[in-house]
Structure 1
Amino acid sequence: MPASVNELVELLQIEQLEVNLFRGGQPRKSRLQRVFGGQVAGQAVSAAQHTVTDGKHLHSLHAYFILGGDPSIPIIYDVESVRDGRSFATRRVSARQHGEVIFYMTASFQRDEEGWDHQDVLPPTPGPEDATSMFDLVKYISPDGAEQWKQEWGGFDMRYVGDPRPEDDPTRPYVPVVQRMWFKASDRLPDDPELHRAAFTYYSDFSLLGASLVPHGLVISSPKVQPASLDHVVWFHRPFRVDEWLLYDQTSPSASGARGLSTARVFTQDGTLVATVAQEGLIRPAKPREQR
Structure 2
Amino acid sequence: MNNALQSLLDLLALEQIEQDIFRGQSQASVVPRVFGGQVAAQALVAAGRTVPADRPPHSLHAYFLRPGDPGAPIVYTVDRIRDGRSFTTRRVVAVQHGQPIFHLSASFQADEEGLEHQEPMPPAPDPLELPTAAEMLPRYADLFAEGVADRMLEARAAIDLRYVGEPPFGSVGEPREPRSQVWFRTHGKLDDASGIPRPLLDICLVTYVSDMTLLDSVLLAHGRGGWAVGDVVGASLDHAMWFHRPLRADEWLLYDQESPTAQGGRGLGKGRIFTADGQLAVSVIQEGVIRVPRG
TM-score, structure 1 normalization? 0.92
Instruction: Report SS of the residue matched to 2:240.
Output: strand
Q: What amino acid does structure 1 have at the position aligned with 2:238? A: D
The match for 2:118 is 119
Q: Do the aligned residues in 2 keep the contact of 1:163 with 1:175 (CA within 8 Å)?
A: no
The match for 1:285 is 292
C-alpha displacement at 1:30, in angstroms?
Answer: 5.0
Distance 1:256 1:31, change over 3 A: closer
Given candidates 214, 223, 226, the residue that maps to 2:233 is 226
The match for 1:19 is 19
1:37-88 superposed Cα distances (whole Å, 9 cap, x missing partner): 0110000000000000262110000000000000111100000000000000
C-alpha displacement at 1:190, in angstroms?
Answer: 2.0
TM-score, structure 2 normalization? 0.91
Q: Which runs of 5+ in 2 are unaligned?
A: 193-197
CA distance in structure 2 between the partners assigned to 1:30 and 1:255 by the alignment: 26
> How many residues matched?
282
1:212-263 superposed Cα distances (whole Å, 9 cap, x missing partner): 1111111222422111000001100001011111000000011111100000
Identical pairs, percent: 46
Alignment of 1:1-292 (within 5 A): 4-27=4-27, 29=28, 32-53=31-52, 55-142=54-141, 145=147, 146-164=149-167, 165-168=170-173, 175-190=176-191, 192-221=198-227, 222-288=229-295
CA distance in structure 1 between the partners assigned to 2:241 and 2:4 by the alignment: 24
Q: What amino acid does structure 2 have at the position aligned with 1:197? A: I
Q: What amino acid does structure 2 have at the position aligned with 1:203? A: V
CA distance in structure 2 between the partners assigned to 1:266 and 1:54 by the alignment: 23
Calculate the aligned-residue CA RMSD, in Å: 1.8
Q: Do the aligned residues in 1 keep the contact of 2:29 with 2:151 (CA within 8 Å)?
A: no
Deviates more, 1:85-94 or 1:3-12: 3-12
Deviates more, 1:152-161 or 1:100-109: 152-161
Q: Do the aligned residues in 1 keep the contact of 2:30 with 2:152 (CA within 8 Å)?
A: no
Q: What amino acid does structure 1 have at the position aligned with 2:224? A: L
Q: Do the aligned residues in 1 keep the contact of 2:89 with 2:105 (CA within 8 Å)?
A: yes
CA distance in structure 2 between the partners assigned to 1:36 and 1:3 by the alignment: 19
